């Protein structure tokens, strides 16, 4: 267990961050990002670090950059592009399949392609897109749902597949990239209700909701999402109740003990947390230190400054 941290918080966030240092806003070159990932995996931050995120078109460079002594490493592969048409979608999948196969052949057994993650062009054609993704089923496949589309319809189709996982973008470089709390609550509750493993990506750098001047948006808090999901796992939360949890920026609203956690009088046990984490797998972040610094700032790790 990490010093000065309750068991419930450690269980809640264990291996929760897939490190995406090559992506905005950090935008590190591949080698510095890989070096940072290796440092994180050996340092005190290792408890919260999951997979190394790499775009498919960078896999060849990653294979060349991996040290001969690399330890067991799981790679989360993101599609090499974002399709806006059927033709672009087919082109991306064909290219990425070649890149993935080549990478797997050229890398040692200690390096494992764990996921393939791709944004759907739309929800209207989702049944056909799901059929197209069958060829990637040797790894976990995450279909990113366009936030402007019908999320409930997409989740129903994903659940019907009985194998596909879901992904939602929770931020970006401008305010339009951030779904509101109502929509995010609906996505998380939908995944929990339908037992769909899911990931989140972008915008979750802070534990609690935080206004960001450059993007002119309030960033969602990763603590709100994970705690809300854990409470929903063991309780019958409405979408409005989950939305309230997502909007709460008061550090005093949250408590973590060795046998469970709570938001106000809503509680989740360690069992609830473990069952929830079987569904909410991770969130992508270009920084690990920023989320950890945020936890320290609100007194959940080390000395409180609140």
Q: Is the pLDDT of residue 4 over 70?
A: no
pLDDT for the residue numbered 301: 84
CA quadruple 200, 201, 207, 212: dihedral sign = negative
Q: Indicate if the pLDDT at residue 2 is higher than 80.
A: no
Indicate the helix (H) or strand (E) that contains 205: none
**Total Cβ atoms within 10 A of residue 25:** 12
For 257, the 3-state DSSP assignment is strand
Query: Which H/E stretch holds residue 80?
Result: none
Helices (H), the chain: 7-13, 30-42, 59-65, 86-106, 126-132, 151-161, 181-194, 222-234, 239-247, 270-277, 289-297
Q: What is the pTM of this model?
A: 0.95
List pLDDT tens digits, range 152-178.
999 999 999 999 999 999 999 889 999
Q: Give bridge partners of residue 198 from the DSSP assignment.
A: 166, 280
Neighbour count for residue 303 (Cβ, 10 Å): 8
pLDDT tens figures, 79-108:
999 999 999 999 999 999 999 999 999 997
172-184, pLDDT tens digit by residue?
988 999 999 999 9
Helix/strand/coil for 52: strand
Q: What does the pLDDT read at residue 306?
A: 31
Q: What's the average model confidence in pLDDT over 126-140?
A: 97
Cα gap 225→276, rounded to integer Å? 11
Q: What is the pLDDT of residue 304?
A: 35
pLDDT at 113 over 70: yes
pLDDT at 193 over 90: yes
Q: Structure tokens of 295?
A: 């936890």
Q: Which of 154, 147, 197, 141 is nearest to 169 (CA)?
A: 147
Find the angle CA(254)-CA(259)-CA(261) to the nearest 5 degrees: 15
239-261 confidence digits (pLDDT tens): 999 999 999 999 999 999 999 99
Q: Tell me the fold of 7-294.
A: TIM Barrel (3.20.20)
CA distance 82 to 56: 12
- The domain limits of the chain are 7-294
Burial class (CB in 10 A: 0-12, 13-18, 19+), 196: buried
Q: Pick from 168, 155, 183: which is nearest to 242 by CA?
A: 183
Q: Which helix (H) or strand (E) holds 84?
A: none
Radius of gyration of the chain (CA): 19
């Amino acid at each position: 267990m990490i010093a000065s941290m309750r068991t419930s918080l450690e269980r809640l966030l264990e291996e929760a961050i897939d490190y995406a240092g090559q992506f905005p806003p950090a935008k590190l070159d591949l080698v510095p990002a890989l070096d940072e990932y290796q440092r994180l995996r050996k340092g005190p931050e290792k408890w919260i670090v999951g997979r190394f995120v790499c775009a498919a078109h960078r896999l060849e460079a990653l294979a060349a950059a991996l040290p001969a002594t690399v330890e067991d490493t799981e790679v989360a592969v993101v599609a090499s592009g974002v399709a806006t048409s059927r033709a672009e979608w087919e082109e991306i999948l064909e290219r990425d399949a070649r890149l993935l196969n080549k990478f797997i052949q050229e890398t040692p057994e200690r390096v494992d392609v764990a996921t393939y993650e791709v944004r759907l062009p739309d929800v209207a054609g989702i049944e056909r897109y799901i059929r197209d993704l069958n060829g990637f089923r040797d790894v976990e496949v995450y279909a990113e749902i366009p936030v402007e589309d019908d999320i409930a319809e997409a989740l129903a189709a994903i659940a019907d597949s009985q194998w596909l996982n879901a992904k939602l973008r929770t931020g970006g470089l401008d305010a339009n990239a951030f779904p509101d709390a109502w929509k995010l609550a609906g996505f998380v509750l939908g995944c929990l209700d339908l037992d769909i493993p899911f990931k989140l990506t972008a915008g979750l750098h802070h534990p609690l909701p935080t206004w960001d001047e450059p993007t002119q948006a309030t960033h969602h808090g990763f603590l709100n999402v994970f705690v809300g999901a854990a409470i929903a796992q063991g309780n019958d939360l409405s979408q409005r109740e989950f939305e309230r949890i997502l909007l709460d920026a008061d550090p005093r609203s949250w408590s973590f003990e060795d046998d469970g956690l709570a938001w106000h009088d809503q509680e989740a046990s360690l069992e609830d947390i473990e069952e929830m984490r079987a569904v909410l797998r991770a969130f992508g972040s270009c920084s690990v230190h920023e989320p950890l610094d945020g936890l320290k700032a609100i007194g959940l790790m080390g000395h409180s400054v609140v």
